[in-house]
Amino acid sequence: MAKLTQVLGLLLVALGLAGYLGTGSLYPTALIPTWIGLALGIGGFLAISPNEGRRKLFMHINVTIALLGFLGSTVEAIRGYVHAKSVGMEPDQIALASKVTLAGLLLIYVILCVRSFIAARRSGKV
């Protein structure tokens, strides 16, 4: 799971940079996926350890970051869409796509981590 975390981190960094450059580098909040990706990438690197306790600690920290990121990006995507529609405008498609992509990637990651944690518990590795 640590290597998957690093790959996800790279994908999120790319998503954040694409969103930032896609908006003309005007909105620094478009870099939020980049910061989440950096945190997960560093956490994934730290989770590669022969020490089981350290690996478990960092993987639990990573999944917590991902869960909070999923909740935040989902709320922001819905809030931005509803706000734009309520004032009679179309939502910013780049921002909406970035938030939905971030939420989707993080949800998939959280599900995979939870399944991995459950499998580890059942196999008696805990």
Q: What are phi and psi of 63, to 5 degrees?
A: -70, -30
pTM for the full predicted model: 0.89
What is the per-residue pLDDT across 17-66, written as a single tens digit (0 to 9) for each? 998 888 777 888 889 999 999 999 999 999 998 898 899 999 999 999 99
Q: Is the pLDDT of residue 85 over 60?
A: yes
What is the per-residue pLDDT across 62-84, written as a single tens digit (0 to 9) for each? 999 999 999 999 999 999 999 99
Contact 113, 1 (CB under 8 A): yes
How confident is the model at residue 109, as a pLDDT? 97
- Tell me which residue of 92, 113, 111 sits closest to 23, measured CA to CA: 92
**In sequence order, what are the residues at sequence separation of 6 or more whose Cβ sits closer than 8 angstroms to the Cβ of residue 18?**
98
Q: How many CB atoms lie within 10 A of CB 41?
A: 20
Q: How many CB atoms lie within 10 A of CB 68?
A: 12
CA distance 85 to 100: 17
How confident is the model at residue 26, as a pLDDT? 81
How confident is the model at residue 126, as a pLDDT? 55
- More confident site: 34 or 92: 34
**In sequence order, what are the residues at sequence separation of 6 or more whose Cβ sits closer than 8 angstroms to the Cβ of residue 123?**
none
CA angle, 76 as apex, 72 and 77 as ends, to 5°?
115
Average pLDDT over residues 87-91: 89
